[in-house]
Amino acid sequence: MSGHLDVRRISATGEGSAVREGEGQGEGLCMLIDTTTCIGCKACEIACVEWNDLRVEPEYAQRVLDSYQTMPDMTPSYWNLIRFDEVPVGADRKPLAPEAAAEGAAVQWLMRKDMCMHCAEPGCLIACPAEGAIVQYTSGIVDFAQEHCIGCGYCMTGCPFDIPKFDPVSRRVYKCTMCSDRVSNGLGPACVKACPTGCLEFGSKGEMLERARRRAGQVRAEGFDGAGVYDPPGVGGTGVIYVLHHADKPELYGGLPRDPRIDPQLRLWKGPLKVLGGVLFGLSLAAAALHYLKVGRRRVPEAREARERRELHEAREPHEARAEGAAGREIVRYTLSERAVHWTVAFTFLYLALTGLGLFTPKLSWLLTLLGGGQVAREWHPIVGCVFTGAVLVQLLRWLRDLTITPGDRLWLRRIRDYMAGRDAQVPPSGRFNAGQKLLFWLQVLLGLVLLASGVPIWFPEEIPRWLRLWAVVIHSASAVASILALILHVYMALFVTQGALRAMVEGKVSEEWARHHHAKWAEEKLRE
């Protein structure tokens, strides 16, 4: 058995780099669990608790008083659990469906030591966004570095065995470490040392597989035709393998997955979606820069009457003209409450975008550090998200009449190329908001609701089924990318293209010429008031 543990830097990024030289770098280590000789004594449970200084939770354990099982499931402080299942079997020793089992049918007691499987391709590691929070040693052991854990729960979503457990007190996630501290010093895991029947063995993967296959053959010779070795290839094989009486029906053993694998949603989320998001962000910034160089700022041409009035005023009262200006009266575009809601939306979205990008890829985890750290961001991100969605809905209620799509807006959209090229004279007059602004706002409302709905399963990983969380992270990430792209467009148009737009949202006022030029219909309505 290897006594050396080096970190394989697939690390929490799932993107990998070099493997350090060292013993144990070959086929890796493995624990063999022979369920056919397990007597359910729970010595391994006690050894795990004592060595890792864990604790039993009596109030949780009481939920299974009608079973020999210690607790209904593993917890953040209980990493190793013997699961007990009674299965009716026929005369041929094959399991029967409960409805097909006759009264008084024979029952087989199946026991399985449940723990982290230490997959060769760990879903938890692929999903984790925190650099260094999950590491895989050259021995194959997958370990959690709690000092780097931010409690996001993504590892829980990525694990097909439902192993990692979230601790609401420390706000971190825990699981079996395969006693990596013991193994690194040449000792085996505590549970293996404590097993009195020898159903637990620990050594090289090749040796353990050979022993497991030999034992499975013996069990088949005893009349269990379905006996075999559980070493699922969908996760690249595991560092924990089982000998099962019924390897063709592993779900009988406490819900052991039949064909666990890295889910396609996880691969999409951490692969193409991440790459596509980065490409789209880069293209949007490049497009904005090229547009600015070609078209420049959209300036308001001064009306002839206003220009003559200004020139006459400057000739008569130059000092007063400079102090007060004489380019026409000003119009209130946004009230104080409207501006307050808008800036609430703006600042909450900025926080969500920065923290979301930090959670999206470890390459941007420094953003989390700037905003108080990963755990702080994980706590506040969903709360701020609720505030953002609420503020957007307040805006919608206040501006609903102004945001209604009209026939004039459809004509405006047909002229959008003229608008983007700066040929404003070719664009139909618009109301308080032009068609582009309306569509952008409706898009943000829709994306805000989708982000909130998809964020809830991510926010409460222990209460939401895993299949729903897998889809939620994909939808949430894709919606966030779309929302940030819309924000880039909005900020570019407001700050760099439309001169006076920022002043309107800061001071609440615009000049008469600005209003007539950009929103002629609305200007006429305001001037008639």
Active site residues: 490
Q: What is the DSSP string of 318-330?
A: HHHHHHH--S--E
Give dist(CA 470, CA 268) in Å, integer.
10
- Name the nearest CA neighbour of 78 among 54, 114, 111: 54
Note the Cα 493 to chain centre separation in Å: 30
Angle (CA) 483-485-487 rounded to 5° is 70
Give dist(CA 142, CA 138) in Å, integer.
9
H-helix segments, 120-263: 123-127, 154-158, 180-183, 190-194, 205-221
Cα-Cα-Cα-Cα dihedral sign, residues 239, 245, 246, 251: negative
Sheet with 200-204, side-by-side order of all strands: 200-204, 29-34, 240-244, 228-230
Cα-Cα-Cα-Cα dihedral sign, residues 512, 516, 519, 525: positive
* Phi, psi angle pair for 23, to nearest 5°: -65, 150
- Residue 417: count other Cβ atoms within 10 Å of its Cβ: 10
Give dist(CA 344, CA 442) in Å, integer.
18
Give dist(CA 421, CA 3) in Å, integer.
68
